[in-house]
Structure 1
Amino acid sequence: MDTKMKELIAVGASVTANCVPCLKFHFAKAQEAGASEDEVREAVRVGRMVRKGAAGKWDEEAKSIIGQQMNSDSVSTGTNRDSAYFRA
């Protein structure tokens, strides 16, 4: 794999990780390696797509966990105050 491809992957990964300093660094490196504007845009698009997919799955898991706790009579997170919070 050549340097340009590695930097384009790093651009996408930076977007996925929400890492602005990483994106700035790898964007500059991708340009130095000869990446076109269209190639960088595509790497950003792929990074956003991965981030969106991961966020969607995370949201499903959070709803599943929180929904189970809210429908339960007791919450195994600690004090009664915590349980009341989840049932409110």
Structure 2
Amino acid sequence: MSSIHRSDQSDSDEVSNGRTLFTPAVKELVALSAALACNCEPCLRYHYREAKKLGISDEDIRAAFDLALAVKQTPARNAQELAERLLGSAGSRPEDE
């Protein structure tokens, strides 16, 4: 498994010394977002269980999911807008923009 799946001593030392905000809970929220963004269902199940073990609320998990979906959907939305411009204006080519 990758290092995101475990919390080693150096991570907890950095947190206790105040040098990072990248706590185990934050790591799981990031991992959940990445799993959703890349459509990895096993990853999503794993990191959801790990997040719940850490006491992360459904509200925080939902916020992570919403952010991941917004990021994931941006390229598709941009491509759709480009397609509409290509079809909508014969005189204006997008590569000229």
Provide the residue aligned with 1:26 in structure 2. Answer: 47
Larger Rg: 1
Scaled by the length of structure 2, the TM-score of the pair is: 0.57
One-letter amino acid of the counterpart of residue 26, structure 2: M
Distance 1:22 1:40, change over 3 A: same
Equivalent of residue 31 in structure 2, options 4, 7, 10: 10
Runs of 5+ consecutive residues of structure 1 not aligned to the other structure: 68-88
1:55 aligned counterpart, secondary structure = helix
The RMSD of aligned alpha carbons is 2.0
Number of positions where the alignment pairs a residue of Structure 1 with one of Structure 2: 65
- Write the distance in 1 (CA, Å) between the matches of 2:34 and 2:76: 14
Give the structure, 1 or 2, with the largest relative contact order (CA under 8 Å, sep 6 or more): 1
- Write the distance in 2 (CA, Å) between the matches of 1:25 and 1:58: 32
1:28-70 deviation digits (Å, cap 9, x = unpaired): 1111112101000111111111110132345567x5xxx7xxx
* Higher normalized helix content (fraction of residues): 1
Moved over 6 A (4+): none
Query: Is residue 42 from structure 1 mapped to residue 66 from structure 2 by the alignment?
Result: no
